Amino acid sequence: MSKNPLANKIAVPYARALFDFSVEKNLMHQITADFQNLEVFLSQTPDLVDYLNNPILSSAKKEELLNKTLKAQLNQETFKFLNLLIKRDRINLLQAVIGKYLNLVYSLASIKMVEVSTAFPFTNLQKKYFN
């Protein structure tokens, strides 16, 4: 999630609108799975994040990139939402929107997210307990 408080504030209405839409259209599970996968993908591809956040690049170039890289992997409605963010010049808020959306879903499901820090890396056996 974005560490920028302004980005987080602007992301809330987008996340809420998508959440409400996903509940209304019974797509919450698909969109949530897309966003969980997208969150991991974006964390592993900082070049893509930089590309999407670049204000110099046109919306058409960003849409073209998403068409080539993500369209086949995402639910149609999730993909439409990403294109909406591009059209409204808010794609730079994608990670914040994903975080806020997932928080809404987890809140509905009474799931609490925690971050664990340790002095030593977890063993495989310990990791198994967290998955």
Kindly state the helix (H) or strand (E) to which residue 29 belongs, with its residue range: helix 28-44
Residue 12, burial from CB neighbour count under 10 angstroms (0-12, 13-18, 19+): middle
Six-digit token pair at 4? 């920028």
Q: What is the DSSP string of 39-88?
A: HHHHHH-HHHHHHHH-TTS-HHHHHHHHHHHTGGGS-HHHHHHHHHHHHT
pLDDT confidence band for 111 (50 / 70 / 90)? low
Burial label for 41, CB within 10 Å (0-12, 13-18, 19+), is: middle
Q: Report whether pLDDT(116) > 80.
A: no
Percent of the chain with pLDDT over 70: 92
pLDDT at 91 over 90: yes
- Asked if residue 110 has pLDDT above 80, the reply is no
Q: What is the pLDDT of residue 2?
A: 54
pLDDT digits 0-9 by tens, 6-42: 888 899 999 999 999 999 999 999 999 999 999 999 9
Is pLDDT above 70 for 68?
yes
Please check the confidence at residue 123 and state whether its pLDDT lies above 60: yes
| Token pair for 61 | 């170039």
Determine the longest span between alpha carbons in the chain, in angstroms: 47
Please name each of the domains of the chain with its CATH number.
5-130 (1.10.520.20)
Closest-CA residue to 71 (of 56, 82, 86): 82
